[in-house]
Structure 1
Amino acid sequence: MRLKISLLSILFLLLLWSSSCRKDFEYASSDGHLSFSKDTVYLDTIFSTIGSSTYSLKVYNDTKDDVLIPSIKLRNGAESYYRLNVDGRAGNNFQDIPLYAQDSLFIFIETTVDLSTRPENVMLYTDAIQFDNEVFLQEVELVTLVKDAKFLHPTLDQQGNKTTIKLYTQNDGTEVRVDGFDLSNSELTFTKEKPYVIYGYARVPEGKQLTIEAGSRLHFHENSGLFIQKGASININGSYSMDQELLEGEVIFEGDRLEPAFSNIPGQWGAVWIAKGSNDNYINHLTIKNAEIGIYVEGNGASQTATLDIKNSQIHNSAIHNLWAKSATITAENIVLGSSGNSSLYCNLGGSYDFTHATIANYWSNGFRSGKALWVDNRNTTEAIKGMDLIQANFKNSIIDGNSSSELSLTSNGENLFNYSFQNCLIKFRDLNQQLEDNQLYDFQGEAYKAIIINGNPDYFNPKHYDFRIGLDSDVVNQGDTSFAQQVPLDIRNIDRTVAPDLGAYQAILKEE
């Protein structure tokens, strides 16, 4: 009896199993009833021959029936520049794709477009993913803006290895080398005709000058940058832009990933490296974004030879420092040094610095930050050199601010010269633990400080998005010294400041709604 019941139970289970298996193979046609997470997939902007990021499309079966999608394919077929991955399989034409009731599947999309054989510099490339055929055809459009560019990169030697250049020599004599190449004579003038995409470090040869004209766009690949070696120089001739969205006159340095997801990721590329022995470098209307170090300037110690003259420029979102000057001689006017992973401005190992109408404001939000917005020292504990003279570090009509309690660090070795001054400046400084109350470097009533505002409200437009314009309620309105304003009569946006100068790079304006 028990055996009979057991056999009946087994037969019943087998019947259920076979029924469920048969259901897995019983599909309805999709018949145009699919739905999608978006009707158009925008793959944003890419450079010619450089692959895009991977984008996704979700396909839904909202019906109560398991369906079979007869085909999923690209409208342009095998000639399409797009690539698909459907349910884990790569290709451009897929047949009989099952999709269960109330379920979904992912399609991943990438593209690489080559404009080298086309006359245009910019092209809007389109295609579509097609589901099913004829009367039941459904489509999701694909759109990509493609830009042509001039690509500069290391060459290969006879062994197939990339050429390298020396950045510096360590104390033990070891050379530090990176992938890089020398710019040829024909490559020493950059124009706005096409953007430039640079792989590795592009070195300006000794005795040569790199000239970058207004409106030029430079895009750097990972671990890439510019290296201005001894005896060479750089001359960036950007201009004021009438259209503050197009920035037609601004020179812009940033990474080579143009997708919005990369717009605020720090450390995408290396640095602009001005080596020791490079003098008479000039920068006007330059914006630098998302570097490891925006500009690294190695100076000549006690020499008063001008290392860098920088005006009307902005450096934002560097992983380490926006501007790191080491024993350098720098004059800066109308400069904005925004958020960075350490100090926005690091005046290291002495030097000579003169900053007028500078906004130095570190509102870093990508993790822990140890450095102050402004850090000035004349010592170096990591090298044989114990210290260097800080001949001067003058800050006039400027803002030193950020999202930490204090944003000013002064570090003297007590032996070499350490000359500094702040005149008509806003300084954020809260000594919460009273660790510096006896440190004369922070005697805000002393001779080094004149007309100082401590912990005022700058009233920025949007510091988290690198917009350091100031509103009419700012505490720095009309607080500038007119004699300094006469030296820099226009703010970074070409607004006259001579009559009633505000502190920082911007004159206050009514905030936009």
Structure 2
Amino acid sequence: MFRYVVFILIVFASLYSCDDDIFETTPSTGQLTFSKDTVFLDTVFTNISSSTRTFKVYNKSSNHISIPSVRLSRGEQSFYRLNVNGEPGKSFENIGILPRDSIYIFVEATIDFEKVNDPLYVDEVIFDQGSNEQGVKLVTLVQDAYFLFPQRDAQGIKEKIVLGIDNQGEEITVEGFYLEGNTTWTSEKPYVIYGYVGVNKGNELTIEKGAHIYFHENSGLLVEKNGTLKINGTLDDKVIFEGDRLEPFYENIAGQWGTIWLRAGSKDHMINHAIIKNNIIGVLMDSVSGSNDPTLRIQNTEIYNTSNFGLFGRATHISGSNLVIGNNGQSSIACTLGGTYDFTHATFANFWSGGIREFPAVLVNNFQISTEADGSESIIFNDLLAANFTNCIIEGNQNIEFLMQENEQAGFEFNFANNLLRFTDPGGNFSNNPLYDFEDVSRYQNNILNGEADFKDVNENQLFIGAASDVISNANVPAAQKVPFDILGVNRVTSPDMGAYQHIIFEE
């Protein structure tokens, strides 16, 4: 019986392996149909491979047909590549399709911008020829760009940046390189970054309005001691930082690249009219520079879709206004290990849906837990000189969206004035904590507790406020006069709303 079954299996296998012999084939007659008449590949950078796109070719007849030829119109010179029935190439012959069946065609492209006459690169997959010829168009937008990446030495080892020493005395490094001297990036072409690009000690990187910076996986920007970052976007020409995956699927995916890291001792940073999205930490600001002025001034800036923190300060001095930070895997803003923080007309709205958040939208503390080489833990503490939130919205999808953590061995000064605050404590865990005594006018003035923000669409990071919002006309006027225009350039002097936006009437 076993031998009989094996014999039957062998017969079936031989039949399927020889289908071209057992079915009589007829040439195609120009009656093929396609799942798409045009295949649009995602925008690509010059000489970087696109994602793969597919379409199907259908044989709707009752005959087993053979397509005499399948080829790219531009031939071997085409920047597109095909895969037909598992075979890569740019031209194919005698492609069979069973009756009422179909085959997949896979398409990719790697395009040299300098060798094309138009950034819209077009080709066509041609099926058959003469009167039976049919085609599917291929369209890709290609961008020229500046590519910045670490070089390799004679042994093939990539450049590295040393970040510090670990508990075992080993160097902590990342693949990266330093810019030479003071540098300016413009909007002439996008910049594509591989590894970490560094601003060396004492140097300055200036990024002009309209510049677009793309980061590859495990990449980022860091600024060393006494170095400075200046981002000079405008309302109409923002500076944009995002990952280098251009497919629509990746448009709002968190964690695609590292961070903008302003390291300890760096100074005089200015970020104005920027969009920072889809990375691990939006901006990481370490330590004060020794000046009484803010180490980082950040204005009119949006930070979205970070897998960890949006804006993360450690023992530093940050001043911010017209900020919108949301959809963050941990806190939208973390003011940690003390320091000085001053935020006016900011919207911190964390409706993260990618998992469980450990921290609220706003985290403030004056200490840090450090793990020693032997595995033991120690606490480092530092004075919180100020954490001032004025005319802000602090909102999210958790009961408690701001958390104050005080170590009594260091100072802990904070103030909330004219804010919308999300804080419900059904378990009563904070009922006896003086940090949350909302009747204490020395720390809390004119706040709205658990009101309605009326955001347009939190899932799409549309954090504009509508006509039903409780924050309308409830901001502190003198504070608003210091930030007279909202993030969209709307005047807010006479009747200011809380948050980064003046309210609008949503269209149904």
TM-score by length of 1: 0.92
Indicate which of 451, 462, 467 corresponds to 1:467.
462
Deviation per CA, 1:33-81: give whole Å up to 9, x if none: 2211111110021111111111111222222222212211111110000
Q: How far apart in 2 are the matches of 1:303 and 1:233?
A: 14
Q: Say yes or no: does 1:164 pair with 2:157.
A: no
The answer as to 2:341 corresponding to 1:353 is: yes
Match of 2:127 in 1: 131
SS in 2 for 1:41: strand
Q: CA deviation at 1:116?
A: 3.3
Q: CA deviation at 1:143?
A: 0.3
Correspondence for 1:494: 489
Contact 1:255/1:268 (8 A) holds in 2 = yes
Cα shift readout 1:98-141 (whole Å, capped 9, x = no counterpart): 111222211111101111356x7x61000011111111111110
- Pair 1:178-2:166 in alignment: no
Alignment match, 1:215:
210
Of 43, 48, 51, which residue of structure 2 is paired with 1:50?
A: 48
d(CA) in 1 for partners of 2:239, 2:345: 21
Q: Secondary structure at the match of 1:444?
A: coil
Deviations 1:373-410 (A, max 9, x none): 11111121125552111111000000001122221111
Most deviating of 281-290 and 155-164: 155-164
Checking the alignment, whether the CA contact within 8 Å between 2:266 and 2:289 is kept in structure 1 is no
Quick one: percent identity of the two aligned structures? 45
Question: Which of 259, 268, 271 pairs up with 2:247?
Answer: 259
Distance in 2 separating the partners of 1:117 and 1:109 = 20
Residue in structure 2 matched with residue 73 of structure 1 by the alignment? 71
Structure 1 distance, partners of 2:435, 2:311, is 22
Which whole-Å CA distance do the structure 2 matches of 1:296 and 1:75 have between them?
50
* 1:424 aligned residue (411, 418, 424): 418
1:420, CA displacement in angstroms? 1.1
The 5 A counterparts of 1:195-214 are 195-214=190-209
> What residue in structure 1 maps to residue 435 of structure 2?
441
**2:264–2:288 CA contact under 8 A, matched in 1:** yes
CA-to-aligned-CA distance 1:283-309 (integer Å, 9 cap, x gap) = 100100101111001013986442100
Query: Which stretch of structure 1 is more off in the superposition, 305-314 or 64-73?
Result: 64-73
For 1:137 and 1:464, the matched residues in 2 are separated by 47
d(CA) in 2 for partners of 1:21 and 1:144?
37
1:483 and 1:269 map into 2 onto residues whose CA distance is 39
Residue identity opposite 1:503 in structure 2: M
Separation in 2 of the partners of 1:419 and 1:365?
Answer: 32
C-alpha RMSD of matched pairs (Å)? 2.0
The question of whether the paired residues in 2 share the 8 Å contact of 1:302 and 1:351 is answered with: no
What is the CA–CA distance in structure 2 between the aligned matches of 1:369 and 1:23, rounded to whole Å? 61
| Unaligned ranges ≥5, structure 1 | 1-9, 242-248
For the structure 1 residues 302 and 407, does the alpha-carbon distance in structure 2 shift closer, same or farther, using more than 3 Å as the test? farther
Residues 419 and 24 of structure 1: CA distance in aligned 2, closer, same or farther (over 3 Å): farther
Q: 1:21 to 1:178 in 2, by over 3 A?
A: closer
Inter-partner Cα distance in structure 2 for 1:24 and 1:304: 86
Aligned partner of residue 338 in structure 1, secondary structure: strand
Instruction: Please say if residues 267 and 288 of structure 2, whose CA atoms lie closer than 8 Å, have aligned partners that are also in contact.
Output: no
Contact 1:277 / 1:300 at 8 angstroms: preserved in 2?
yes
Residues in 1 aligned to 2:172 and 2:507: alpha-carbon distance in whole angstroms: 48
Structure 2 Cα separation of the partners of residues 348 and 29 of structure 1: 72
C-alpha distance 458-24 of structure 1, shift in aligned 2 (>3 A): farther
Q: CA deviation at 1:170?
A: 3.0
Cα offsets for 1:390-449 (capped at 9, x unmatched): 111000000001122221111112221111111000011121322221222112222311
Structure 1: which amino acid aligns with 2:398? S
Question: For 2:217 and 2:482, how far apart are their aligned partners in 1?
Answer: 39
Residues 1:281 and 2:269 aligned together? yes
Aligned residues: 489
Amino acid at match of 1:175: E
Unmatched segments (≥5 aa) in structure 2? 1-7, 372-377
Secondary structure (helix, strand or coil) at the match of 1:380 reads strand
The one-letter code of the counterpart of 1:420 is F
TM-score (norm 2): 0.93
Task: Report 1:15-414 matches (<5 A).
Answer: 24-117=22-115, 123-185=119-181, 188-241=183-236, 249-300=237-288, 304-383=292-371, 384-414=378-408
Q: Is the 8 A contact 1:360 1:374 kept in 2?
A: yes
Deviates further, 376-385 or 153-162:
376-385
Query: Offset of 1:352 from its aligned partner?
Result: 0.5
Q: Cα 1:314–1:144, aligned 2, differ >3 Å: closer, same or farther? A: same
Shift of 1:370: 2.0
CA, structure 1 residues 402+352, in 2 after alignment: closer, same or farther (shift >3 Å)?
same
Deviations 1:465-504 (A, max 9, x none): 1111111111111110101101100000000000010010
Q: Is the 8 A contact 2:70 2:93 kept in 1?
A: yes
Change (3 A) 1:350 1:107: same
**Deviates most, 152-161 or 73-82:** 152-161
CA deviation digits over 1:191-224, x for unaligned, max 9?
A: 0111111111111111111111111111111111
- Secondary structure of the equivalent of 1:116? helix
CA distance in 1, matches of 2:358, 2:37: 46
Match of 1:485 in 2: 480
Are 2:223 and 2:263, in contact at CA under 8 Å, matched by a contact in 1? Answer: yes
